[in-house]
Structure 1
Amino acid sequence: MNLSKNHRLSICCLGYNHASFLKDTLDSICAIQYENIEVIVVDDGSKDNSVPLLNELAVSFPYPLKIIAQQNTGNIGKNFNNALKEATGEYVTFIALDDVFHSKIILSELSEMNNNPQLAFIASSKALSIDNEGIVNENTPPELSLYRMENPTLENLLELEYSEFGSFYIQGSIIKKEIVDIIGGFDEDMTGDDIVLRTKIFNFMLKNSQWDFKIIKENNVFYRLHDHNIHKNTPRQIKIVTEYLDKFWPNKPNPSILINWACHMINTSSFEKSIETLTLNKRAKSLLNDDRIKHAIKNSLKNDNEKPFFKKFIFSKQKINDAQRQIILFGFIKFIYKKHKKISQKPKVHYLKY
């Protein structure tokens, strides 16, 4: 493919203790088979051998690869901004170093962007997940709500951000870097990252009508699901979205999905942790006025008062890892057992076969 310098794709990668998956991610970049790529990796203070391994892989990597090894910040937006400062491409995309690109779809997205200079971004309405071995999870519907929309508008995308806290994933989305630069990239003072960047892009495009966008129905990334995924941390999710609502939707009521998350947290977390989360900011405090939240808190307090002795001293159940669970009786009798796995009716498929 004969491309000008302006058609470069800058791939901003973020890693933290992802040594086991680095090669898979970099291999998926090579498999795009697009000659004008640069890769910027920010390692956020990994405690494994990620940085030495990255330096080793860089020797034979066919594209320019810049490695930024820094002290841990835990600030995803700041870390991606550090990568963006080094990016020189016309286009930019993002990926975590435990995920992999669906390479042929990324190439088709790039072809679309090159053929239509008015496209601000191309994104996917489908998300497929994989396990640590790269086996695709085909038991969970991969389509996002956006998938069911025909010819969505920017207003539709913004409504999904407000009502469902997400329209699509920025990973694998190809975005014009000049727009990301104009809006100031990620907001480093907010816990959220992708939801903030998308909303800023949509609002910019509403004011600059010359830009267009495209939503495709093929997944552009395979997401690695494991115990450390942020989506499994409900208190952190609530912190992210209450900050987001306060900044971008200050006059709109709390959407139903936030009430559901808060009730789930109250039912599954300690009372102290729930109250700590529900008093983080003005929007979080407003949840305490909701009748469903009040009812959930009342039940939580009742259960805590009625069964503390049983929970602490008679029976408790703990998760050891993905496969093992532990039961403790009377505080000292321990039983370890393997979690039963449902037998899949579908043959296992590796992401490389897609």
Structure 2
Amino acid sequence: MTQSAKEADLCSVVCICYNHSAFVEAHLRSVFQQEDENIEIVLLDDGSDDGSLEIINRVLKECPFEHKVIAQQNTGRVSLNCNRALESARGEFVVVISCDDILLPGSLSKKLEQMRADPALVFVASSRNYIVDPRGEIIDEGLLTPTHGKQITDPKVLLEIEYESLGSFYFQAGVFRMDVIVSVGKYDEDLIGDDIVLRTKIVQYLIENPNRSFDLIDQPSFGYRKHGDNLHGNSLRQIRTVVEWKNRFFPDRALPELAFRWMERFFRSSAKAGNTKALREALALDPQIEEHFDQYKKIGSTGLLRSLGIFRPS
């Protein structure tokens, strides 16, 4: 569908919420404070049961931008929820961010200026961001990606960094062209992974379209809020995400070395907790995991070997 003149410059900020009552007001106010005037907010609440929706509706009464709230029954499926929100977004440009994180002041204006000036740009994202605590205080200004400090213009190089590092830049708070996201099929709803999947598809698009470009800038864009319910704290989910992603996009390659290091931490924590169920689930995900597990047991400490020895795939 042809976009209207207003939509041609519009940036849709897509916010995804689930039980973020402690953080969603600060999140929304960080969007309100953005300098660009041509912004809309599309917020999807995935059936929160902690009062998040009531807070959202109250705070949005002060919103300086057009906005839409999608309130639905809980699905627990991040990719599906992102796609539903994207379907309601009207902008030529889109930013996706979780409602427990915050946009930093001025984080969108420079990116949007670049995107509007150069139609070849597919996205502008940051190679450095901040970590904030549950109160919103900055606790680390050095949330660096593997691309930080590097002048990368070749998407093939970017794809290799994506593979080796399990992520080349933070998708959150990057500004992307909506038509490119649509053309690559948006998020893959049959996979657990979300950002890593869409990011890989967009980099593949850049490889296939050498007339298009991207920019990774040093300016921090968002504050990643560290708290007890972060999805990244779910080790089994992270392993499953990486296995599914690797098998879809790099089917002829082994799992990255970094993935094996993640697994070893998971093996140790599972052994200490006596969590046979989680370990059996992990070992069943891919033959490479079981093979690495057997090798790891041979070099582990004596005590850990005894613990790990009780775990076998069912």
TM-score by length of 2: 0.90
Listed one character per residue, the Cα deviations across residues 239-264 of structure 1 (whole Å, up to 9, x for unaligned) are 00000011111111121111111111
Displacement, 1:300?
A: 4.1
Q: Give the direction of change, closer, same or farther, for the CA distance of 1:305–1:173 in structure 2 (3 Å limit).
A: closer
State the alpha-carbon separation in 1 of the partners of residues 86 and 302 from structure 2: 47
Displacement, 1:298?
A: 8.7
Unpaired runs of at least 5, structure 2: none
Q: Give the direction of change, closer, same or farther, for the CA distance of 1:214–1:11 in structure 2 (3 Å limit).
A: same
Identity among equivalent pairs (%): 33
| Corresponding residue of 1:147 | 148
Residue pair 2:193, 2:242 contacting (<8 A) in 1 also: yes
- Aligned pairs for 1:177-216 within 5 A: 177-216=178-217
Q: Give the direction of change, closer, same or farther, for the CA distance of 1:278–1:297 in structure 2 (3 Å limit).
A: farther
Listed one character per residue, the Cα deviations across residues 114-149 of structure 1 (whole Å, up to 9, x for unaligned) are 1111110001111210001111113x7422211032
| Corresponding residue of 1:231 | 232
State the alpha-carbon separation in 1 of the partners of residues 122 and 255 from structure 2: 30
Listed one character per residue, the Cα deviations across residues 75-114 of structure 1 (whole Å, up to 9, x for unaligned) are 1110000000001100001010011111312111111111
- Aligned pairs for 1:129-168 within 5 A: 129-138=131-140, 141-168=142-169
- Aligned pairs for 1:324-339 within 5 A: none
For residue 9 of structure 2, the aligned residue among 7, 13, 35 is 7
SS in 2 for 1:132: coil
SS in 2 for 1:286: helix
| Corresponding residue of 2:296 | 293
SS in 1 for 2:148: helix
| Corresponding residue of 2:26 | 24
SS in 2 for 1:32: coil
Listed one character per residue, the Cα deviations across residues 180-218 of structure 1 (whole Å, up to 9, x for unaligned) are 011110000000000000111111111112211101011
Residue pair 2:131, 2:139 contacting (<8 A) in 1 also: yes
Q: Give the direction of change, closer, same or farther, for the CA distance of 1:48–1:272 in structure 2 (3 Å limit).
A: closer
Displacement, 1:60?
A: 2.3
Displacement, 1:4?
A: 5.0
Larger-gyration structure (1/2): 1
State the alpha-carbon separation in 1 of the partners of residues 309 and 86 from structure 2: 51
| Corresponding residue of 1:115 | 117
Q: CA RMSD in A?
A: 2.0
Residue pair 1:101, 1:220 contacting (<8 A) in 2 also: yes
2:276 is the alignment partner of 1:275: no
| Corresponding residue of 1:302 | 306
- Between the two proteins, the alignment pairs up a number of residues equal to 300
State the alpha-carbon separation in 2 of the partners of residues 112 and 302 from structure 1: 57
Listed one character per residue, the Cα deviations across residues 28-83 of structure 1 (whole Å, up to 9, x for unaligned) are 11211211111111111111111122122222211111111111111111000000
State the alpha-carbon separation in 2 of the partners of residues 299 and 184 from structure 1: 48
| Corresponding residue of 1:176 | 177
Tell which deviates more after alignment, 172-181 or 141-150.
141-150
| Corresponding residue of 2:45 | 43
Supply the AA of the counterpart residue of 2:282.
T
| Corresponding residue of 1:83 | 85
SS in 2 for 1:244: helix
Displacement, 1:299?
A: 6.0
State the alpha-carbon separation in 1 of the partners of residues 94 and 125 from structure 2: 12
Residue pair 2:191, 2:244 contacting (<8 A) in 1 also: yes
Residue pair 2:128, 2:142 contacting (<8 A) in 1 also: no
Residue pair 2:297, 2:308 contacting (<8 A) in 1 also: no
Supply the AA of the counterpart residue of 1:251.
D
State the alpha-carbon separation in 2 of the partners of residues 67 and 107 from structure 1: 24
| Corresponding residue of 2:103 | 101
SS in 2 for 1:147: coil
